[in-house]
Amino acid sequence: MHVSDPVIRCVAAFDRWVALTPKYDTFIVPDRRVLSAKVDGDTTIFSAGNPIPVDEVIIMRAFAKARGQSQWTRVDSRCGVRDGRVVGVSLTPNVRPKIVR
């Protein structure tokens, strides 16, 4: 399995970040999501609210479990990389719209 170094660094950064954040206690990225991670080299700013210059943004679908909960949540993970180092991470819940019949 070949995965680019920035993607590997991002997964490791998320593991460290989740261990320290009070919101989540577990983070999982399935193999197929790691293999299909989107590497966006055109984006130069990681966050509009707190601008961080980056060389590329890695985007992967993942799962996170909130502390004290048993249910997994689908999340979109974004990771900013500059000069080969992770400089920012974010997890956004991916809420599927409910279909009303």
> What is the C-alpha to C-alpha distance for residues 71 and 53, in angstroms, rounded to an integer?
35
Predicted model pTM: 0.81
Sorting pLDDT into bands at 50, 70 and 90, what band is 4? confident
* 82: nearest Cα among 56, 50, 43: 56
For 65-71, the CB contacts below 8 A with 24+ separation are 65/24, 65/25, 65/26, 65/27, 66/23, 66/24, 66/25, 67/22, 67/23, 67/24, 67/25, 68/25
Residue 39 is given by DSSP the state E
Tens digit of pLDDT for each residue in 25-64? 888 888 889 999 999 988 888 887 878 899 999 999 999 9
